[in-house]
A and B are shown apart, each in its own frame.
Chain A
Amino acid sequence: MSELTPALLWLIPGAPLIASVFIAFFGKALLRGRSHVPCIAALAVSSACAGVMMLTFLASPSSLKQDTSLLSSGQIDGLQAEAEKHELKPLATTPGYDWSITDNLHVRLDLQVDSMTALMLCTITFVSLLVSIYASGYMHGDPGYPRFFAAFALFVFSMCMLVLADNYLTMFVFWEGVGLCSYLLIGFWFQKPSAAAAARKAFVVNRIGDFGFILGIFLIWKTFGTVKFSEVFDLVPSIAQTNPEVFTTICLLLFLGAMGKSAQFPLHVWLPDAMEGPTPVSALIHAATMVTAGVYMVARSTPLFVMSSTAQMVVSGIGAITALLAALTALTQYDLKRVLAYSTVSQLGYMFMALGAASVSPKLATFAVTAAMFHLFTHAFFKALLFLGAGSVMHSMGDVIDMRRFSGLRHVMPHTRLTFLIGSLALAGCPLLAGFWSKDEILVALFEGTKSGGHETFFTVILGVAVVTAFLTAFYSFRAYNMTFLGEERFPEEAHHPHESSPTMTLPLFALAGFSVVIGLFLGPTGVYARQLSQSTSLAGHGEHPHSWALMGLSAVIFAAGYGLARWMYVTAPAVPAKLESGLKPLHHLSLNKFFLDELFHYLLVVPVRVLALLCTLFDKYVLDGLLNFVGSMPSTIGRAVRPIQNGLVSNYAWIMLLGVVLFLIQMLRALAG
């Protein structure tokens, strides 16, 4: 096993990369309608490798948990010590590529696997495998079919490399890589102006976050002299003694990057627009994997974040604001995919709330991070499921996604309805399903935060927000479900023959639904996930694992309340929403228009920048260009002035010659005369 592992490890990102390059070069000419085959095959290989790797982790004795499981480290003088350590490791060394940027910044492109990475890899490869199977049905017949799968496989490669990176710089490179793939896939239908604009918006908003991220990396390099995770974390205690203030700056800068990638307020505006991309993309990139990169990055940097409670509180606060705002916005949206997008934003806020709770005490840190990562894990499954279900609806309804235009699809699409229901239950936090366990852990982590540490009031507010958001989540998920699948049967006129989707699309739905049901129960309360994750280099080790039956009961009650309210408003008494809407017009208006954040940004940021750009344009056009044109026109002006001499007449040339002789003679006479 240990002989095979390095090859397996390189195969996880390598297979999708090979598939991507292959499809990109031969997709249009050779594969065409079969372009999904290499992609699915590669992802199957990847997920198989990831599963094998996960098994080695599960099999490895816990005595190895403090071992860093690094695949390699680049220091030559440490080779001997490394060689000794390797014998203990379950994974062997793979020499990576050394891209030394400067003399004192050595970066190796090495793969690092610890339990956190392994869990992420499993999630990514498995979900993307299911989504790619789904996409082969969903995207069937699209003219850009090969392009879609090339970008899709490239995305999986980048995402795997992101979580496999053993230093911040490599992570940043593939952080940008996933951003690029996201841009390519949001703008997949680039002929559509709204899709092109959404892709651009996503890219630009992400730049703001990435700017903070790379500044944070620079600061890390300046402070620690290295960007390698293990070395940075080893140096944390010594730096904490000499320069404790720097952690707040580093963490806030890193969090800015996470805010951009994981769509946290106020940089969340790109994610709802990103739904312009194909639905499988929304499911994989903008729900399950890429947007969680921010969460992963903050979780990976836990040793840094625990040193700064200020940064932690900012993380928590931003997470809370995001969760609440997004949930409120999701209440009134009519676009099914938009509802899910805001739900994603809200759930990501949830995760950041939990991450922020790590500051309360070092003991709680592991638990809080575990809660966030566990929610990330379960969320990936049920949110992908919901998006794929929405895609199935959209497919059947002739690309109509407005929930006001169809209803009562339960008879037409029984499979989709069933799986969507399971997804909604998981999202809403129905007891025993995945979302219930992970959400409960977050609530427990926040509740622990209110008990100890120096910020009880703050975390009480956060906990309140979390509870309210949980209620709103239950409400809007069943609002969406009820509006779509219950009620009288109506179809939009674009849907020529409403039908259940093909098996290639429903089978992944069932697979994901099955996982949504079982993973929470098997991995959450049993502590398997937490035990695995605690072996990660980023975490301090096995922390306490508190349970709170009261909170579990509370979340069950919240779920019941949200579910009941949604059922009453949208099934039993369908007139109520309209009445409520007219009764609370300003609030409804606010929610429907996404709190006018886009407009606010437009007037606060875009318009001033446009004005500045206009001024620059005018300056460039009239001052700089004028100057340059003036200088440039001098030779031609002079040339034009003397060009009439060259009029082709022999007499004229003779006259000029004579003139020269005369002037020369006169000048010579003057010189001779003294």
Chain B
Amino acid sequence: MIVLTNYLIVGSILFVLGAIGFLARRNLITLVLSAEMMLHGVSLNLVAFSNFHQNMQGQAFTAFILTVAACEAGIALALILTLYKRSKSLDVNLWSQLAEADIESPHEEEPAVPTAQPTQEFPHLTPAGRSPQFQKETANRV
């Protein structure tokens, strides 16, 4: 016994949460992740229907969704990199050139958020194909 609605409910919850994330978050990468999660909800729906109807059509469609999601992720990330190169920020609010001319920009300078934990360090990639050149003080420290 398999209850179709159970899966549909989970799928729709994933879809809606993804939508909320897409609307509310401002980091471009998080936005793309949220969109991917909406695709998960849809995929789950299709698989559940496939099982319900006992045929492979739903699964075939899910395979296509997988393909499209991969393409989407690749292009979105390339775009994000381009945008980041221009503005040195991943904030989606910076990109509002389509606005009406006299509407004040929604992007206002906010006070920096005091973070409780110390600044998190992210790993930096070393450029491939070249030997890293150390700064003088770094070398001294080393």
Contact = CB atoms under 8 A, between A and B. Distances in A.
Q: Do chains A and B touch in the complex (CB under 8 A)?
A: yes
Interface string A615-652: 00000000000000000000000000001101111111
Interface in A364-405: none
B37 to A, nearest CB: 14
A643 B104 CA distance: 11
- Interface core residue of B31, B92, B95, B96 (most chain A CB under 10 Å): B96
20 contacts: A643-B100, A643-B103, A644-B103, A646-B98, A646-B103, A647-B96, A647-B99, A647-B100, A647-B103, A647-B106, A648-B95, A648-B98, A648-B99, A648-B100, A648-B103, A648-B106, A651-B22, A651-B31, A651-B92, A655-B23
B96 A648 contact: yes
Contacts of A652: 106
Nearest to B24: A651
B100 A649 contact: no
A654 B23 contact: yes
Contact of A646 (B24, B31, B95, B100): B100
Given A643-B103, A644-B103, A649 B22 contact: no
Nearest to B26: A651
Contacts of A651: 22-24, 26, 31, 92
Contacts of B19: 658
Interface of A: 643-644, 646-652, 654-655, 658
Contacts of A647: 96, 99-100, 103, 106
A647 B95 CA distance: 10
B135 interface: no
Q: Is the interface of A mostly helix, strand, loop or mixed?
A: helix
B23 A646 contact: no
Contacts, number: 39
B67 interface: no
A646 B99 contact: yes
B71 to A, nearest CB: 20
Given A643-B103, A649-B106, 19 more contacts: A646-B98, A646-B103, A647-B99, A647-B106, A648-B95, A648-B96, A648-B98, A648-B99, A648-B100, A648-B103, A648-B106, A649-B92, A649-B93, A650-B95, A651-B24, A651-B26, A651-B31, A652-B106, A658-B19
Interface of B: 19, 22-24, 26, 31, 92-93, 95-100, 103, 106
B75 to A, nearest CB: 16
A652 B24 CA distance: 9
Contacts of B31: 651
Given A647-B106, A649-B106, A654 B22 contact: yes
Contacts of A650: 92, 95
Contacts of B93: 649
A95 B102 CA distance: 70
**Nearest 4 Cβ contacts at the A-B interface:** A648-B99, A648-B96, A648-B98, A646-B100
A375 to B, nearest CB: 76
Contacts of A649: 92-93, 96, 99, 106
A666 to B, nearest CB: 14
B102 to A, nearest CB: 8
Contacts of A644: 103
Nearest to B35: A654
A36 to B, nearest CB: 62
B23 A658 contact: yes
B95 to A, nearest CB: 7
A649 B96 CA distance: 5
A654 B100 CA distance: 17
A67 B97 CA distance: 90
B92 A648 contact: no
A661 B132 CA distance: 52
A468 B26 CA distance: 104
Contacts of A643: 100, 103
A655 B21 CA distance: 11
A652 B31 CA distance: 13
A648 B97 contact: yes
Nearest to A661: B19
Contacts of A648: 95-100, 103, 106
Contacts of A658: 19, 23
A84 B96 CA distance: 93
Nearest to B107: A649
A658 to B, nearest CB: 6
A651 B92 CA distance: 8
Contacts of B99: 646-649
Contacts of B23: 651, 654-655, 658
Contacts of B100: 643, 646-648
Contacts of B106: 647-649, 652
Contacts of B26: 651
Nearest to A658: B19
A654 B96 CA distance: 13
A652 B95 CA distance: 12
Contacts of B98: 646, 648
A630 B26 CA distance: 41
- Interface core residue of A643, A648, A654 (most chain B CB under 10 Å): A648
B117 to A, nearest CB: 27
